[in-house]
Amino acid sequence: MFVEGIPEAGPATGPVTGGAQAAAGPPPRLLTAAAYAVLVLLGALMGLLGGFQHSWYLRPVPVSAIGWVLGTFAVCHGAGRAMGGRAGAMAPAAGWLAVTTLWLTARPEGDLVIADDVSGYVYLYGGLLAALAGALLVPPGSGSWLLSGHPHGSHPVRSDSS
């Protein structure tokens, strides 16, 4: 049945929800901010765990520090590719750097979490270089596949078969 000025809600269309915003989901800015916040927290978690676990050796090689450096590169580069720009790569790097900076401060007792030995230097300077390399190797402005509305990347699907 059609009432003048009011569209009919049938089984194919469902009830009217009050606008396109309700059907579209959360606003894109809110989703983007949440994604960046999660990436910063991921970097902070990596800094927390890596600060305490970087000093495992297979004499004389600090294998754990090397593993954390490779992990830092992978997370920063992957986040940059997923978010479609270098800012996405710098988000986990900022979280990692904030926590790592806390671990470099001396306590009143003189204790440090990241000591001045080979594993500490590899973890600290290697992590800084890994975060920088992860950000610099991301193509600038490539578009975010994570936040795009397309199911398989940022390229639109063509409807014509030519």
**For residue 19, is it left (φ>0), alpha (ψ between -120 and 50) or beta?**
left
162 lies in a domain?
no
If one counts every other C-beta atom within 10 angstroms of the C-beta of residue 117, the result is 13
Confidence tier at 124 by pLDDT (50, 70, 90)? very high
7 lies in a domain?
no
Task: Spell out the residues 6+ positions from residue 121 whose beta carbon is closer than 8 angstroms to its own.
Answer: none
83 lies in a domain?
yes
pLDDT at residue 37 greater than cutoff 90: yes
Backbone angles phi, psi at 61, to 5 degrees: -95, 125
83 touches 29 (CB < 8 A): no
pTM assigned to the model: 0.72
Q: What is the pLDDT of residues 42-51, one digit of tens each?
A: 999 999 999 9
12 lies in a domain?
no
Q: Domain range holding 72?
A: 36-54+63-139
Q: For the chain, give the percent of residues with pLDDT over 90.
A: 49
Q: Which range has the worst mean pLDDT, 29-43, 77-91, 100-114?
A: 100-114
| Overall average pLDDT of the 91-113 stretch | 89
21 lies in a domain?
no
Total domain count, the chain = 1
85 lies in a domain?
yes
114 lies in a domain?
yes
78 lies in a domain?
yes
Confidence tier at 106 by pLDDT (50, 70, 90)? confident
What integer pLDDT is reported at residue 160 of this predicted model?
64
| Overall average pLDDT of the 19-38 stretch | 75
